[in-house]
Chains A and B, each alone.
Chain A
Amino acid sequence: MEILGNIIIILGIIFMLFGVIGIFRYQNFFVRILIASKIDTVGALTVVIGLAVKHGFSFFSLRVVLLLVLMFIINPMVTHIIARSAYESGQNIDGSVDDIEEGNE
């Protein structure tokens, strides 16, 4: 059980690593926010699931699962509100780097 939990936690950290690489790799705003949401949601959720599996059935696991449900609800919502407000304030979906700089000014 503990080895399985460790494997899942390492998987989550690998997800986060790919997300961090992706943020620096791409320039488009919407691509980057998609990747950032992957860190928030997939990476963090996998790590939390790994923690719950590692501790088995206990009170600690119950609290971790509650936390997991809250994260599952809140994190995609945050990404949604950032992306939508960026779109409404005039960010082009196929915007290149120049467009982004113009949009900031």
Chain B
Amino acid sequence: MIYLLLVLWLFLAFCIIGEKRNIRIVIYLCVFSFISSISFLILGSPDAAMAEAAIGTFTGIFFIICFEKHRELRFNEKNASVFSRDEDPPDIDDERAVQALLKLRKKARARTRGKHNAKSILQRYLAPGLFSILLFILFIVFLPGGEANPYLRNQFLTQFSEHVGGENAVTAIYLAYRVYDTLFEALVLVIAVVAVIHMSYSSDILVKGGKPSHVGQYVVVVSVLRVICAIVLLFGFYLIMNGHITAGGGFQGGLFIAAFFICRYLVYDIYDLPITKVIRMEELVFLSTVIFAVLIVFLGTINHLPPVFHIVYMIVMNFLIGLKVACGFLILFYRYIAIERR
């Protein structure tokens, strides 16, 4: 069963690469994520399966809505060009032009449909099908045992507290076994922040005055948020400091710290943080995260160090990552405030 799914998976991947029409790519993508969701479920990880299913559904719907809007826009543009071309004959009104356009599109569609006979379908799908089957055979031949190998999973789950320490296997994995992945994940946020600042560049980084947020008029919301504010900040630090014991960690805690500043803006209309300094601080924190992690890794694998140091390492890393994530989201949010109040 799982082999059949994997062959289908590869086949769909090649189909996506070879396809030219956008709407078909989206449908292939949805089927692709559906198949990967089922295979995750068979391989025994229902959480990843659920995440994959949700991602596939939402991106599919999102893309299709975008295409609809885009097609409407392009249709309107075409209409406009038709009217501007036929300015002098006054007898052609809107209805008739639209009808003519629709007829043309129908004709074009019929022409393309005529092309799809059996031979062209075979030509189109033969190559990706054969190639995916070949890749799959290679995969089975060169994989020892030919099955999903549980060695790494058992290693991670049973021995993480000797190797890394702490009580949370997820933190052990993302701060010790897979620390490079975490660094690149943090880099993604830095790139996103740089992109947003670059796209919405303006000389006035911090807009003074302007119209205040609407939320300030909502009495219920303001009085509730005023209470929630402190709890959110406390909870963020709790998540960061207990990342190696309970669920949580730097990413989640940083998000909560950023949420505290968002609450503060919504309630009190204060956004007086010097944003250029926050940007500089985010870069510095990211650099120090990278240097710290790489230093530890080059000093030797972490299980050669004394066990007290493991906890310190995890707390410091969680703290740095949390600070970085908080800075990143804060910068994004302050950019949006600046655009809104302009």
Q: Which residues of A contact B (CB under 8 A)?
A: 70, 73-74, 77, 80-81, 84-85, 88
- Can you report 20 residue pairs joining A to B where beta carbons are below 8 Å apart? A70-B228, A70-B231, A73-B224, A73-B227, A73-B228, A74-B224, A74-B228, A77-B220, A77-B221, A77-B224, A77-B225, A80-B218, A80-B220, A80-B221, A81-B215, A81-B218, A81-B221, A84-B218, A85-B214, A88-B214
B: which residues have CB within 8 A of A?
214-215, 218, 220-221, 224-225, 227-228, 231
* Bound Cα distance A81, B228 (Å): 15
Q: Quote the shortest CB–CB distance from A89 to chain B (angstroms).
A: 10
The answer for the CA separation of A77 and B224 in the assembled complex, in Å, is 8
Distance, CA A74 to CA B227, complexed state (A) = 10
- What residue of chain B has the Cβ atom nearest to residue A84's Cβ? B218
Query: B231 contacts which chain A residues (CB < 8 A)?
Result: 70
Q: Which residues of B contact A77 (CB under 8 A)?
A: 220-221, 224-225
The docked-state distance in angstroms from the alpha carbon of A77 to that of B266 is 14
Q: Which residues of B contact A84 (CB under 8 A)?
A: 218
**Bound complex: CA of A77 vs CA of B223, how far in Å?**
10
Known: A70-B228, A77-B221, A85-B214. 16 other contacts (CB 8 A): A70-B231, A73-B224, A73-B227, A73-B228, A74-B224, A74-B228, A77-B220, A77-B224, A77-B225, A80-B220, A80-B221, A81-B215, A81-B218, A81-B221, A84-B218, A88-B214
Closest 3 CB pairs of A and B: A77-B224, A81-B221, A80-B220
A80 to B220, CA, bound (A): 8
Question: What is the minimal beta-carbon distance from A85 to any residue of chain B, in angstroms?
Answer: 7
Q: Return B69 CB to nearest CB of chain A, in Å.
A: 12
Could you tell me the distance in whole angstroms from the C-beta of B226 to the nearest C-beta in chain A? 11
* B227 CB to nearest chain A CB (Å): 7
Q: How far is the CB of B151 from chain A (nearest CB, A)?
A: 34
Chain A contacts for B221, CB-based, 8 A:
77, 80-81
CB-CB < 8 A to B214: which residues of A? 85, 88
Least CB distance, A33 to chain B, in whole angstroms? 15
Across-interface contacts of A85 in B (CB, < 8 A): 214
Q: Please, how many angstroms separate the alpha-carbon atoms of A6 and B340 in the complex?
A: 48
Residue of B nearest to A85 (CB): B214
Complex Cα–Cα for A88 and B214 (A): 11
State in angstroms the CA–CA spacing of A88 and B224 once bound together.
Answer: 20
For A66, give the chain B residue with the smallest CB separation. Answer: B231
Inside 8 A of B228's CB, which chain A residues have their CB? Answer: 70, 73-74
A84 to B220, CA, bound (A): 11
Across-interface contacts of A74 in B (CB, < 8 A) = 224, 228
Chain B minimum-CB-distance residue to A73: B224
**CB neighbours of B227 from chain A (8 A):** 73
A49 CB to closest chain B CB, in angstroms? 21
By a CB distance below 8 angstroms, the chain B residues around A70 are 228, 231
| Residues of chain A lying within 8 A (CB to CB) of residue B215 | 81
A81 to B216, CA, bound (A): 11
Shortest distance in angstroms between A62's beta carbon and chain B's nearest beta carbon?
15
